Amino acid sequence: MRDCRSVDVLIVGAGPAGTSAARTAAEAGSDVLVIERRPRIGEPVRCAEYIPRLLSQTVKIPSKAIVQKIEGMISFLPGGEEIKKMAPGFILDRAEFDRALAGAAENSGAEILTGTRAVSRDGDRIRVKGPSGDGDVRAKVIIGADGPHSRVGSWIGQKNKRFLWAIQHTVELKEPVYDTEVYLGKEYPGGYGWFFPKGRLANVGVGVQMTSIRHAKQALKTLKNRLGDRIGRVTDGTTGYIPAGGPLPSTDKSERVILVGDAAGHTHPITGGGIPQAVICGAMAGRAAAASAGGDTKAFEDYVSQWRRVFGAALDKAAKKRVTLEKGWNGEDRTALLRKCWVACREYYHDT
């Protein structure tokens, strides 16, 4: 790393949001640098790895990143009720997917430095630390795509405050399965358990509200016991935070900062899903950053208008449902509450 380097756009984080932003900013002619604190893009994987089929109309998904196709989703409510919905999509090899997006960004002209993190900021100069030592980067626009606890977000006072705590095991799968499964009930406080088939494997996990984090391991054990001999030995495991408070303002024009993906609270506060938002909003953020670096004074406002037009209403609604779910969790009729707050139920969309 040179003592000081100047770029049009500096992107912190090389997940789907950051690399999608890098690609579109570079395509627009900007000099783009991406820094990623992890030594290998896409690893470790902290994701259940499902994406809806509609995303394939927005971004090219390489065949090697698709593990299997999904037909639907079955939700299991307390009392034995099952709700099956069509939910066509794919289970990804998330590491391959992330690397494919990074490759597309590099092919468009962006530079990606791994093992490199943003340490501090002083005006338009960002101090970074990497394998070759410390250095400064001067950027016209900074994009924070650095996850739930975004350092870039902290620089502008925009940080996620509500989270789910997730724990997941990847396990051997005894027989092929073509639907995702979701388990709801008192065992999963403020959240749910999931069983997502992945070819010969499956991702089995739980997400619970942070006040119940001590219950997470027991919740996962309960879910695995329920799945019984459908699953085998554990091959991998992961834990992590899922933003669940809804979207943040996402820009600070005076500070020349744009947030995107988990850093912007773009994750769905009920389901925890965030890959489509990361990819689509990332592309919007990259175009806005390039436009702003080129002198467009309305680029930041346009970015917010664009992502809110696509995702704003759904994320705002889900954030309100999250508050309702957590406030009412210890009430008498938890089943009615879950029906009101789970996306597969009619009441989620039609309750007053």
Q: What is the pLDDT of residue 132?
A: 77
pTM of the model: 0.96
> What is the mean pLDDT of the segment spanning 216-230?
96
**Residue type (1 letter), 189:** P
Burial of 189 (0-12, 13-18, 19+ CB in 10 A): buried
**205 pLDDT above the threshold of 60:** yes
- Domain span at residue 14 reads 4-339
Residue 343's alpha-carbon distances to 73, 205, 314, 324, in angstroms, are: 11, 18, 11, 14
CATH number at residue 28: 3.50.50.60
Does residue 352 sit within a domain? no
> What is the mean pLDDT of the segment spanning 89-116?
97
Does residue 266 sit within a domain? yes
pLDDT tens-digit series, residues 9-50: 999 999 999 999 999 999 999 999 999 999 999 999 888 999
**59 pLDDT above the threshold of 90:** no
> What is the mean pLDDT of the segment spanning 218-233?
97
Does residue 153 sit within a domain? yes
**Residue type (1 letter), 242:** I
Residue 63's alpha-carbon distances to 26, 66, 300, 351, in angstroms, are: 25, 5, 35, 40
Does residue 344 sit within a domain? no
Does residue 334 sit within a domain? yes
**351 pLDDT above the threshold of 80:** no
Does residue 202 sit within a domain? yes
Does residue 346 sit within a domain? no
**Tokens standing for residue 296:** 């467009």
Q: What is the pLDDT of residue 352?
A: 52
Does residue 235 sit within a domain? yes
Total tally of structural domains belonging to the chain: 1
Query: CB-based contacts of 36: which residues, under 8 Å, 6+ apart?
Result: 13, 14, 18, 112, 113, 114, 115, 116
Q: Give the three-state DSSP class for 161.
A: coil
Q: From CA 190, how far away is CA 213, in angstroms rounded?
A: 11
Question: pLDDT grade, residue 2 (50/70/90)?
Answer: low
**281 pLDDT above the threshold of 80:** yes
